[in-house]
Structure 1
Amino acid sequence: MTYLSRVRINPLRAESRRLLANPRALHGAVQGGLPGASDERVLWRLDADDPRRPHLVVLTRSRPDWTHVVERAGWPDADGEHALVRDYTPLLDRIAVGQEYAFRLTANPVQNTIDPVKPTPRQARRLAELPPDRKPRGFRLAHRTAAAQLNWFLTRTARWGFEVPAARTDPTAPGLPGPAGPTGLPDLANPADPSDPSDRASAAVGGTPAPRTTIAHEVRITARHRHSFRKGGRNGGQASPADQAGGADQAGRGGSGGKGGRGTQVTFHSATFEGHLRVTDPEALTAHLLGGIGPAKAYGCGLLTLAPLPAAR
């Protein structure tokens, strides 16, 4: 069985502030909701579109118990349902080709390259220590601009089992710039975003970044954040949203770790996508609903959730 949970978080409590500031700490709280010494891989996401009423959304294979989260980071004595847990199987069983849903996904848009333009100290050491006759393993680079993140998403939906319909808007008036090109096809004349480090990395190694889509689709980015915290060591670290430079989740790690017991610095970017999808491959979509999308799943990325489309007005 699979369960989808939604837990109310009180952001004014000391424990909630600690959890909200550190994805690693929140991951530990999520794992604590599973019975026994579970090695189950859990998908979770923090929905903080209302910062005064954030919610923790979790997908588990076994039935969880969120009492510890409610008591330490929720409203244990308030009215209402503190932790909503529902069987996810009925939704999975209903998925069929052509069905349409509203969706939300917090993801880690990244690109792999073997030759980063500006390697971190750790990446530079790996490249320097590599024998001359061996090819380096790829490095993950974050897509940091909203355009690159959106393009990353739209160019991968087919493999995830769905498509995002074109935006249902009137065409742009003649002579005015608009989101759609004259053909609605990928913009092959301007495929790369020069402000995006991952596109520059592709160009540097002779690669070709995915073409930018020029037609508007029923999707938007509702949140972009940069997170930084320490993994291991004595300090819990902290996470900081980036107001302007946030974006693609880089699961990149800097620092040497261990110095003074401070652990290894982890930095990554996340982007939250919301919109409207149409099912094209139920099996692939189900696999990604259960297995997640992209890297950094332990830190709150990868959980795709569906909901009925709002009624047309």
Structure 2
Amino acid sequence: MSYLSRIRINPLRSGSRDLLGNPRRLHGAVMGGLADDPERQRPLWRLDSDNPHRPKLLVLSESKPDWTHLVEQAGWPHAEGEHYELREYEPLLTRLAVGEEFTFRVTANPVRNAVEAARPTQPNDSGKGSLGRSPRTAHRTAEAQLGWFLQRTEKWGFSVPGASSGTSAIEHSSVAASADSTDATGGAVTAEAARVGTADVSEFAGDVRITARERHSFAKKRGSKPVVLHTATFEGRLRVTSVELLRRALLHGVGPAKAYGCGLLTLAPLPPDSDAAD
């Protein structure tokens, strides 16, 4: 059984500021709510800050959690009302069917493997060399991040209505992670990618948009090299193409950096006045 939680966060408390500014600490707080073998579980979580004065933490966990510690540290422990919501996740999963449409939201870490092949690392203690993993490079422009997302929807079990089925424009956009020039967020882009404007993206993006883009930098431990994450929050409308693949994406997340608030894909019914037909 899986559970989806939504916890109210009070951003004015000192405990909240420590958590909201550091994905590693927030991950630790999430793990602290799992009593049933937390080391075995890999919960998904996402911080939604549509209203910066009332951010909400969403958590998908395998076991039933207890968020009392988060309410006491970063919520409104003495206020009236529901401090957090807890729902079983299976009823949503049973509603999935090919052709059904939902609105969705996901915060992801769009990356690509470096073009260069992995090189041997320093010899280890035994004197033998080992092959290193090909490093990942962040997509730092909205165009490249949209391209990354649309290239992967099929393997996640859905399509985006109105999006181009071709990949040429998407692949063209995805070169934006190479380092030749700088975008508005300080990320590096090629001169070619810099010419790919929002109008070009809209031609193949369909019913999806980026609503937030952030850069996070934090240390895993004191004195260590900081971890840098470039994230993008995608929202829009999707159409189910594979129940099995979408169920897997919902339960296990999409993309990398899941421990740091990326990958939790959530669905909601379409608004009553929406037109589901293309």
- The bucket for the TM-score relative to the shorter chain is 0.7 to 0.9
The 2-side partners of 1:198 and 1:213 are apart by 24
Residue in 2 that maps onto 1:68: 69
Residue in 1 that maps onto 2:133: 137
- RMSD over aligned CA atoms reads 3.0
TM-aligned CA distance change 1:294 to 1:216, over 3 Å: closer
**Contact 1:187–1:213 (CA under 8 A) maintained in structure 2:** no
The 1-side partners of 2:29 and 2:258 are apart by 15
The 2-side partners of 1:12 and 1:217 are apart by 38
Q: How does 1:11-30 map to 2 (within 5 A)?
A: 11-30=11-30
**Contact 2:120–2:131 (CA under 8 A) maintained in structure 1:** no
Q: How does 1:216-255 map to 2 (within 5 A)?
A: 216-233=205-222
Amino acid in the other structure paired with 2:103 = A
Amino acid in the other structure paired with 1:20 = L
- Following TM superposition, by how much is the alpha carbon of 1:304 offset from its aligned partner in structure 2, in angstroms? 0.2
- Following TM superposition, by how much is the alpha carbon of 1:158 offset from its aligned partner in structure 2, in angstroms? 0.5
**Contact 2:147–2:170 (CA under 8 A) maintained in structure 1:** no
- Following TM superposition, by how much is the alpha carbon of 1:129 offset from its aligned partner in structure 2, in angstroms? 3.6
TM-score (normalised: structure 1): 0.74
TM-aligned CA distance change 1:295 to 1:138, over 3 Å: same
**Contact 1:141–1:198 (CA under 8 A) maintained in structure 2:** no
Residue in 1 that maps onto 2:193: none
**Contact 1:7–1:82 (CA under 8 A) maintained in structure 2:** yes
The 1-side partners of 2:115 and 2:224 are apart by 26
TM-aligned CA distance change 1:263 to 1:65, over 3 Å: same
Residue in 1 that maps onto 2:161: 165
Residue in 2 that maps onto 1:80: 81
* Residue 246 of structure 2 corresponds to residue 285 of structure 1: yes
Corresponding residue SS for 2:251: helix
The 2-side partners of 1:275 and 1:114 are apart by 31
* Residue 110 of structure 2 corresponds to residue 149 of structure 1: no
* Residue 178 of structure 2 corresponds to residue 197 of structure 1: yes
TM-aligned CA distance change 1:70 to 1:113, over 3 Å: same
Corresponding residue SS for 1:159: coil
Write out per-residue CA displacement over residues 254-306 of structure 1, whole angstroms, 9 at most, x where no aligned residue. xxxxxxxx223111111000000000000000001000001100000000000
Amino acid in the other structure paired with 1:63 = K
Amino acid in the other structure paired with 2:49 = A
Write out per-residue CA displacement over residues 198-218 of structure 1, whole angstroms, 9 at most, x where no aligned residue. 7999x9xxxxxxxx7833410
Q: Determine which of 194, 208, 227 is the counterpart of 1:266.
A: 227
Corresponding residue SS for 2:91: helix
- Following TM superposition, by how much is the alpha carbon of 1:31 offset from its aligned partner in structure 2, in angstroms? 0.3
Write out per-residue CA displacement over residues 153-211 of structure 1, whole angstroms, 9 at most, x where no aligned residue. 011100000000017xxxxxxxxxxxx8xxx844469825665327999x9xxxxxxxx
The 1-side partners of 2:207 and 2:248 are apart by 23
Amino acid in the other structure paired with 2:268 = A
The 1-side partners of 2:250 and 2:180 are apart by 28
TM-aligned CA distance change 1:50 to 1:68, over 3 Å: same
* Residue 256 of structure 2 corresponds to residue 275 of structure 1: no
Residue in 2 that maps onto 1:9: 9
Corresponding residue SS for 1:276: strand
Write out per-residue CA displacement over residues 34-76 of structure 1, whole angstroms, 9 at most, x where no aligned residue. 0154221010000011100000000001000000000110011
Residue in 2 that maps onto 1:295: 256
**Contact 2:208–2:235 (CA under 8 A) maintained in structure 1:** yes
- Following TM superposition, by how much is the alpha carbon of 1:114 offset from its aligned partner in structure 2, in angstroms? 4.7
The 1-side partners of 2:148 and 2:259 are apart by 21
Corresponding residue SS for 2:226: strand
Q: Which moved more, 1:262-271 or 1:81-90?
A: 262-271
5+ residue gaps, structure 2, are 182-187, 191-200
TM-aligned CA distance change 1:158 to 1:14, over 3 Å: same
**Contact 1:13–1:73 (CA under 8 A) maintained in structure 2:** yes
